[in-house]
Amino acid sequence: MHSRRFWQYVRRHGRAYLIGYAASAVAVAMAQLSPWALRAAVDAIQHGAGGRLGMFAGILAALALAEAAATYVMRIRILSVAYRIESDLRHDYFAHLQRMPLRFYQRMSVGDLMARAVNDIRAVQRLAGVGLMRSVQTTIMIVASIAAMLTLHAGLTLLMLTVMPLITLLYLGLGREIHRRFDRVQAQFASLSTRAQENLSGIRVVKAFAQEPAEQARFAEEVDAVVGVNMRLARVQGALWPAIGLIFGLASVVLLWQGGDLVIRGGLTLGQMVQFSYYLARLTFPMVALGWITNLWQQGSASMQRLDEIFSVTPEIRDPEHPAALATPRGALEFKNVTVAFDGARVLRDVSFAVPPGRTVAIVGPTGAGKSTLVGLVPRLYDPVQGQVLVDGRDVRSLSLVSLRRAVALVPQETFLFSDTLAENVRLGLDGSEEPAGAPDGGAAVTRAAAVAQLAGDIERFPLRYETVVGERGVTLSGGQRQRTALARAVIRDPRILILDDALSSVDTDTERRILAELRGIMATRTCLVISHRISAVRDADWIVVLRDGRIAEQGTHETLVGADGLYAALYEQQLLRDELDAPDAGPITTEPRPPSRAPRA
Partner 1 sequence: MNAMIDEDQIIGRAYDARLMRRLLRYVRPYRRVVAAAIGVLLIASAADLVGPLLYRVAIDRYIAPHAAGARALGPASDARGLAGVAALYVAILGAGFAARWLQSNLMQYVGQRVMADLRMEMFGHLQTLSLGFFSRTPVGRLVTRLTNDVDALNELITSGVVAIFGDVATLVGITAIMLWMNWRLALAAFVVLPAVFAVTERFRRRARGAYRAVRTRLARLNAFLNEHLMGMTVTQLFTQERRSRARFDELNASLLDANLSSTRNFSQFYPIIQLLGAIGVAVLLWYGGGQVVRAAATLGVLVATVQYAERFFDPLRDLSDKFNILQAAMASSERIFRVLDEPVTVEDPPAPAPLPHGRGRLEFRDVWFAYDDDEAWALRGVTFAIQPGESVAIVGHTGAGKTSILNLLTRFYDPQRGQVLVDGVDVRRVAQRELRRRIGLVLQDVFLFAGTVDSNIRLGNADLSTEDIRRAAERVGAHRFIEALPGGYGAVLQERGAGLSVGQKQLIAFARALAADPEILLVLDEATSSVDTETETLIRRAMATALRGRTSITIAHRLSTIQHADRILVLHHGRLVEEGRHADLLRRNGIYAKLYRLQFEVEARSAG
Residues that bind ligand ATP (CB under 6 A): 106, 342, 347, 365, 367-373, 413, 475-481, 506
Residue 413 in the binding site for Mg ion (CB under 5 A): yes
Which among 491, 492, 513, 496 is positioned nearest to 504, based on CA atoms? 513
Residue 41 in the binding site for partner 1 (CB under 8 A): yes
The interface mask with Mg ion, positions 149-178, x = CB under 5 A, is: ------------------------------
Q: Which of residues 183-242 bind Mg ion (CB under 5 A)?
A: none
Q: How far is the CB of 2 from partner 1 (least distance, A)?
A: 27
Which among 446, 453, 440 is positioned nearest to 485, based on CA atoms? 453
Q: How far is the CB of 320 from Mg ion (least distance, A)?
A: 28
* Helices 270-311 and 53-98: angle between axes, nearest 10 degrees: 10
Residue 154 in the binding site for partner 1 (CB under 8 A): no
- For residues 284 and 157, is the Cβ–Cβ distance under 8 A? no
Q: Which of residues 52-111 bind partner 1 (CB under 8 A)?
A: 53-54, 56-58, 60-61, 63-65, 67-69, 71-72, 75-76, 79-80, 83-84, 86-87, 90-91, 94-95, 97-98, 100, 102, 105-107, 109-111
Which among 374, 373, 363, 409 is positioned nearest to 538, based on CA atoms? 363
Q: Which lies closer to ligand ATP via its Cβ, residue 5 or residue 103?
A: 103
CA–CA separation, 561 and 538 (whole Å): 12
Secondary structure E strands in 320-385: 333-342, 345-355, 360-364
- For residues 313 and 104, is the Cβ–Cβ distance under 8 A? yes
Q: Which lies closer to partner 1 via its Cβ, residue 122 or residue 356?
A: 122
Q: How far is the CB of 208 from partner 1 (least distance, A)?
A: 4
Q: Which of residues 302-361 bind partner 1 (CB under 8 A)?
A: 342-343, 345
The interface mask with Mg ion, positions 336-375, x = CB under 5 A, is: ------------------------------------x---
Q: How far is the CB of 412 from Mg ion (least distance, A)?
A: 9
Q: Which lies closer to ligand ATP via its Cβ, residue 141 or residue 374?
A: 374
Cα dist. 180→222, 299, 548 in Å?
19, 12, 52
CA–CA separation, 575 and 416 (whole Å): 29
Among 143, 180, 257, 440, binds partner 1 (CB under 8 A): 257
Q: Which lies closer to ligand ATP via its Cβ, residue 268 or residue 378?
A: 378
Position closest to ligand ATP via CB: 480
- For residues 529 and 356, is the Cβ–Cβ distance under 8 A? no
- For residues 305 and 6, is the Cβ–Cβ distance under 8 A? no
Q: How far is the CB of 52 from partner 1 (least distance, A)?
A: 9
Q: How far is the CB of 405 from Mg ion (least distance, A)?
A: 20
Instruction: Sheet containing 551-556: give its strands across.
Output: 408-411, 497-501, 527-531, 360-364, 543-548, 551-556
Q: Which of residues 443-482 bind partner 1 (CB under 8 A)?
A: 458, 461-463, 469, 471-473, 475-476, 478-481
CA–CA separation, 162 and 255 (whole Å): 12
Buried b (16+ CB within 10 A) or exposed e, 59-91: bbeebeebbeebbebbbebbbebbeebbeebee
Point out which span in 35-43, 154-162, 175-183, 385-393 binds partner 1 (CB under 8 A). 35-43
Pairing of strands 543-548, 345-355: unpaired
Q: How far is the CB of 471 from ligand ATP (least distance, A)?
A: 7
Residue 260 in the binding site for partner 1 (CB under 8 A): yes
Q: Which lies closer to ligand ATP via its Cβ, residue 289 or residue 498?
A: 498
Q: How far is the CB of 55 from partner 1 (least distance, A)?
A: 9
Point out which span in 165-173, 296-304, 352-360, 527-535 binds partner 1 (CB under 8 A). 527-535
**Which region, left, alpha or beta, applies to residue 337 given φ > 0 means left and ψ of -120 to 50 means alpha?**
left
Map residue 418 onto helix, strand or coil.
coil
The interface mask with partner 1, positions 202-241, x = CB under 8 A, is: xxxxxxxxxxxxxxx-xxx--xx-xx--xx--xx-xxx-x
Residue 560 in the binding site for partner 1 (CB under 8 A): no
Q: How far is the CB of 505 from ligand ATP (least distance, A)?
A: 9
- For residues 387 and 336, is the Cβ–Cβ distance under 8 A? yes
CA–CA separation, 597 and 579 (whole Å): 10
CA–CA separation, 118 and 16 (whole Å): 25
Map residue 342 onto helix, strand or coil.
strand
Q: How far is the CB of 324 from partner 1 (least distance, A)?
A: 16
Q: Which of residues 478-507 bind Mg ion (CB under 5 A)?
A: 478-479
